[in-house]
Chains A and B, each alone.
Chain A
Amino acid sequence: MPEGKNRATRIDIEQESSIYKASEAARKIASKLGFDNIKQCKIATAVSELATNIHRYAGSGFILIRIIDIGSRQGVEIIAEDIGPGIADLKSALMDNFSTSAGSLGIGLPGTQRMMDEFEIESKTGKGTLVKIREWL
């Protein structure tokens, strides 16, 4: 459970404009924590990828952003969760250029994995998808 001082910020993804809201919220928190401009942009871009997937494939869901610290190490943790259709073939979804959406590049998930220090994904068909990413200062 997050400690009091590390309360999470939650942004519901309900419409297209929520995507930008979520990525800017993540950027702000990353900036406050002391990440440089490049890292802030990477974190915001990762959130944009995850929020776009929620909007596109699940219809709705939410993004949770919180500051984490383990001893002297600080970072930001982002959870993207939905109760959408889930990902049937998770292995393929994590490979470059795999997409079920016509005209999409299929690099959002593998790219987010490359962009962040830590990346975890859980998905069950019919149950939904949860992606957790972390970036350390």
Chain B
Amino acid sequence: MSKVGIYINEGSLIVPIQTDLRNDALEQLQKDILKTVRETRLRGVIIDLSGVSLLDTYQAKKIFAIGKMTGLMGTVTVFTGLSAGIVVSLTDLDFDSSEVLTSINLEEGSKLLKSMKGTTARTDEGS
């Protein structure tokens, strides 16, 4: 299991990242999330980054890749709570965030996922 405590709330997988994640921890987290997405009917995934103090290029690439991966499985991932410092740094670094879906906080992220139901998010909920 990864160092990050992940849980399901209202059909969404919530991933609150609080620590500085690197190589092994990041890969373990990727695996855990993908496994849960595959095994559970989810509305979507919310990766909350409000507890993260910085994202360097390496970490940003690994963390935002999770969004791409769950997307390939048909499940949307929203990233929430990025600090002003992180977004300024990512912009200076010229990190390509064009495919990254974000919300200001967990609550808004959850609203966004609900509003997306039936579009890009899984549509098989009622079947």
Contacts and interface: CB of A to CB of B under 8 A. Distances in A.
Interface of A: 16, 19-20, 23-24, 27, 37-42, 44-45, 48-49, 52, 96, 103-105, 107-108, 110-112, 114-115
B interface: dominant SS? helix
B22 A19 contact: yes
23 contacts: A16-B23, A19-B22, A37-B84, A37-B85, A38-B84, A39-B85, A41-B53, A41-B54, A41-B89, A42-B85, A42-B88, A42-B89, A44-B53, A45-B89, A49-B57, A52-B56, A107-B57, A107-B94, A107-B95, A108-B58, A111-B95, A114-B92, A115-B93
B51 to A, nearest CB: 14
Contacts of B61: 103-105
Nearest to A101: B58
Contact of B93 (A19, A38, A111): A111
Contacts of B56: 23, 45, 48-49, 52, 108
A41 B88 contact: yes
Contacts of B108: none
B55 interface: yes
B100 to A, nearest CB: 14
Given A19-B22, A20-B20, A45-B56, A107 B93 contact: yes
Contact of B54 (A39, A44, A112): A44
Categorize the interface residue count of chain B.
20 to 34
A interface: dominant SS? helix
B83 A37 contact: yes
Interface of B: 20, 22-23, 53-58, 61, 83-86, 88-89, 92-95
B22 A111 contact: no
